[in-house]
């Protein structure tokens, strides 16, 4: 498009050019920016460990383990207690000692939604059609004063994720989540940065997350180590026997 011939304002021209990109093209660029499909899918397991700074100045230890295709276990430890949330591919369970519950409990459908997103090993944009997701490109937006490319991902269950990509690197810098629960909407947001390569795949080493409209309640995680293709026992994810009928 030759904007000078059409006599369009520069800003409008930029907007029109941005929409010339398609959602599939941006998804492909995002995958390539992370290392490419071959390297991404060569990772079969992942373990992350780090520290989480909570509102009020409390600092806890966090970990997350994932195994293909959709196993996840997340822990948070503080003052000698450890909370656990895990998904074994069909059921979610948790241990919440900070709420006075030290025995495993099954997670309800509403509580499980965030964990299901985390269980998707490659994320909802990789092979999104096969997963029953849809992706739309919504054009340019602004994140913390910087330009960003905005993608809308509608999950198979109807929940919506908005991804904001850095227009230079095509890596995610922000994600907003809308979960539709019994007629209401639960909104949260995450900001990602400090990307580093592990086995040729880019991972964020700084993640801040919390309620979308109240950043004062966000938790900031500083990743200390990411290991890939480590040996993980499926029993770590499995629903405890005490919860099985």
Is 12 among the domain residues?
A: no
Is 8 among the domain residues?
A: no
Q: Residues of the chain with pLDDT > 90: what percent?
A: 84
Whether the model pTM is above 0.85: yes
Residue 7 has a pLDDT of 46
Residue-number span of the structural domain to which 143 is assigned: 21-243
Burial group, residue 178, by CB count within 10 angstroms (0-12, 13-18, 19+)? middle
Give the confidence band of 97 by pLDDT, cuts at 50, 70, 90. Answer: very high
Give the confidence band of 182 by pLDDT, cuts at 50, 70, 90. Answer: confident
- How many residues in the chain? 245
The enclosing domain of 74 has a CATH number of: 2.50.20.10
Compute the distance between CA of residue 127 and CA of residue 231 in angstroms, rounded to an integer.
25
**Mean pLDDT score across all residues of the chain:** 91
Residue 245 has a pLDDT of 67
Compute the distance between CA of residue 117 and CA of residue 221 in angstroms, rounded to an integer.
18
Is 3 among the domain residues?
A: no
Is 7 among the domain residues?
A: no
pLDDT in tens, 103-116: 999 999 888 999 99
Is 111 among the domain residues?
A: yes
**Tokens 């920016």 correspond to what residue?**
33
Is 11 among the domain residues?
A: no
Compute the average pLDDT of residues 90-110: 92
Residue 9 has a pLDDT of 53
Is 2 among the domain residues?
A: no
Q: How many domains does the chain have?
A: 1
pLDDT in tens, 10-67: 444 444 444 457 999 999 999 999 999 999 999 999 999 999 999 999 999 999 999 9
Q: Residues of the chain with pLDDT > 70: what percent?
A: 91
Task: From residue 130, give the alpha-carbon distance in Å to each of 23, 125, 155, 177.
Answer: 16, 10, 11, 21
Return the higher-pLDDT residue of 35 and 244. 35
Residue 12 has a pLDDT of 47
Is 127 among the domain residues?
A: yes
Residue 161 CB partners (closer than 8 Å, separation 6+): 117, 124, 152, 153, 155, 175, 176, 177, 178
pLDDT in tens, 114-153: 999 999 999 999 999 999 999 999 999 999 999 999 999 9
Give the confidence band of 244 by pLDDT, cuts at 50, 70, 90. Answer: confident
């Amino acid at each position: 498009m030759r904007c000078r011939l059409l006599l369009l304002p520069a800003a409008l021209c930029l907007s029109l050019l941005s929409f010339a990109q398609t959602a599939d093209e941006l998804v492909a660029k995002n995958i390539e920016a992370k290392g490419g499909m071959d390297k991404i899918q060569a990772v079969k397991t992942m373990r992350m460990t780090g520290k989480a700074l909570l509102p009020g100045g409390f600092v806890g230890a966090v970990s997350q383990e994932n195994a293909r295709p959709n196993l996840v276990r997340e822990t948070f430890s503080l003052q000698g207690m450890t909370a656990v949330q895990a998904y074994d591919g069909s059921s979610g369970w948790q241990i919440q000692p900070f709420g006075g519950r030290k025995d495993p409990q099954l997670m309800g459908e509403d509580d499980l939604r965030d964990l299901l997103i985390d269980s998707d090993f490659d994320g909802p944009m990789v092979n999104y059609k096969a997963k029953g997701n849809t992706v739309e490109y919504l054009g340019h937006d602004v994140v913390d004063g910087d330009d960003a490319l905005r993608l809308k991902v509608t999950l198979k269950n109807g929940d919506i994720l908005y991804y904001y990509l850095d227009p230079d690197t095509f890596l995610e810098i922000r994600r907003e989540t809308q979960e539709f629960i019994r007629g209401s909407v639960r909104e949260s947001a995450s900001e990602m940065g400090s990307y580093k390569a592990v086995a040729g795949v880019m991972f964020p080493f700084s993640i801040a997350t919390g309620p979308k409209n109240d950043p004062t309640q966000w938790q900031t995680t500083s990743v200390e180590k990411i290991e890939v293709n480590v040996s993980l026992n499926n029993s770590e994810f499995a629903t405890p026997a005490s919860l099985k009928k």
